[in-house]
Amino acid sequence: MGRAVSAGAQHLPSEPIVVGDGRLTIGGDISASFGCALDTTDGACGSDVGFFNYSDYEHSVLRMLRVAVTASINAGEHVAVLGELRSENLEAPKAYAFYVRVRPWSDRAIDIAAGRVPPVFGAFARRIYAADNPLIGYPLAYQYLTSLRSDAVPASADELLRMRGRGWLASYSLGNPTPDRGLPVVSSFRWDTGVVVHSAFSRYDASVAVTTGTISDPLFRDDNSGRQIAGRIGVRGSPGLLVGVSASHGPFLSARAARGAVGDGHDSDFTQTAFGVDAEYSRDYYVLRGEAILSRWTLPPVNLPLIDEPVSASTAYVEGRYKIRPGLYAAARVDYLGFSDIAGTDGRTTWDAPVTRVEFGGGYSLQRNLVLKGTFQHNVRAGGRVTDMNVVATQLVYWF
């Protein structure tokens, strides 16, 4: 939501719009990013032809204009309605969030949200806004597209292996035959539909959710008659230290794809199960954050060579931000995404191509709610059509 600060001598509005004595609050978030790939034969400003920064809305996060408008309607002491409309690259706005939040007791920190609800899994999902991200790129777990799809199934291990490093446009023979984007480990560009119960105490914070989709494929409408259960518990330790653990489990494959692969009666058999741990430590002028996630997907075994065991992805990143002086900071992130082995005709290899990313840069506050960032990003992938890519990017972020 918007952030309220003193207007002072600032030129751009810095406070959310408040109407009806606080009944309606409107905020906004605008970010404009432009990146240039340096690995071009003519030295020109190229695009990310390796699709390292492609999102599940089919846009590069390093070349994006994003406009978001948030609103909160307080319908009394116990009920509020919250929503967000978001547009990327001037496309038609989409309902990123829309839910009713109920606080049954005024003296207890417990609330229930229903609708298109905030995610509970992981830590970065709570820092998805450009103003909260010290860099421009996203952690691989929350953005990079694997070669798995929820609406299409590889008929064999060999068919899955042919799509290594092709998550931006994967195609399979079962289910939907049209080539399309794959799934990230955790989607940070879509919220799921369901119910969340959240409780906070002095040192503990806990959330549990039941939703129609999974963390890699949030849904507005259910496509397999299954439900995901996800949760996170956070603990505040010594001053400046936060530690959290997350877990989720639910069917990720659509009913149509499952029936096309193995027939009726297995709509909810093919699941995604994930576990995560995150930590943050802040002191003086610096903040350190880290997160690790293990995700497993169960696929239907169809033809030889069979995919007869779950495929998994393991990912971790560490990032830091240091305040050099008021309004100026430096930041860096080291990131890795790896995959389990499967057996194909030509032997065992990872089912998707592992990726390593290093990004560093910084930001300068032109005013408190107007930040200019610049970063350099280096990507390396052990497979695919493009195996490495260097990108420089700049971003202007404004919020109120």
Span 65-91, pLDDT tens digits: 999 999 999 988 899 999 999 999 999
Q: Is 21 within a domain?
A: yes
pLDDT higher than threshold 60 for residue 8: no
- Give the per-residue pLDDT at 71: 96
pLDDT higher than threshold 50 for residue 309: yes
Q: pLDDT band at residue 154, thresholds of 50, 70 and 90?
A: very high
Domain carrying residue 175: 17-399
Q: Is 345 within a domain?
A: yes
Backbone angles phi, psi at 324, to 5 degrees: -75, -45
User: Looking at the DSSP assignment, which residues form a beta bridge with residue 373?
Assistant: 363, 395
Q: Is 4 within a domain?
A: no
Average pLDDT over residues 291-319: 96
- Measured CA to CA in angstroms, residue 391 lies from 40, 137, 180, 360 at distances of 11, 10, 24, 11
Position with higher pLDDT, 56 vs 33: 33
Q: Show the CA angle centred on residue 259, arms to residues 258 and 264, nearest 5°.
A: 120
Alpha-carbon distance of 68 to 74, in angstroms, equals 20
Q: Is 3 within a domain?
A: no
Average pLDDT over residues 365-377: 96
Spatial CA neighbour of 139 closest among 397, 377, 396: 377
- Determine the straight-line distance between the first and last CA of the chain, rounded to whole angstroms: 8
Q: Is 6 within a domain?
A: no
Q: Is 10 within a domain?
A: no
Q: Is 11 within a domain?
A: no
> In this predicted structure, which of 7-16, 131-140, 153-162, 358-367 has the lowest mean pLDDT?
7-16
> In this predicted structure, which of 20-29, 121-130, 338-347, 384-393 has the lowest mean pLDDT?
121-130
| Cα atoms in the 13 Å half-sphere on the side-chain side of 77 | 5
Q: Percent of the chain beyond pLDDT 70?
A: 96
Strand blocks (E) in 75-185: 79-88, 94-102, 110-117, 152-153, 174-175
Q: How many domains does the chain have?
A: 1
Spatial CA neighbour of 354 closest among 310, 315, 390: 315
Position with higher pLDDT, 104 vs 265: 104
- Give the per-residue pLDDT at 40: 65
Q: Is 41 within a domain?
A: yes
Average pLDDT over residues 125-145: 91
pLDDT higher than threshold 80 for residue 3: no
Alpha-carbon distance of 109 to 360, in angstroms, equals 38
Alpha-carbon distance of 299 to 282, in angstroms, equals 41
Mean pLDDT taken over the chain = 93
- Say whether 141 sits in a helix, a strand or coil: helix
* Overall residue count recorded for the chain in this entry: 400
Span 172-226, pLDDT tens digits: 999 999 999 999 999 998 999 999 999 998 899 999 999 999 999 999 989 998 9
- Measured CA to CA in angstroms, residue 289 lies from 55, 244, 267, 299, 357 at distances of 23, 11, 38, 33, 16
CATH number of the domain residue 268 falls in? 2.40.160.10
Q: pLDDT band at residue 42, thresholds of 50, 70 and 90?
A: low
Q: To which residue do tokens 């990146």 refer?
A: 35
Alpha-carbon distance of 311 to 304, in angstroms, equals 16
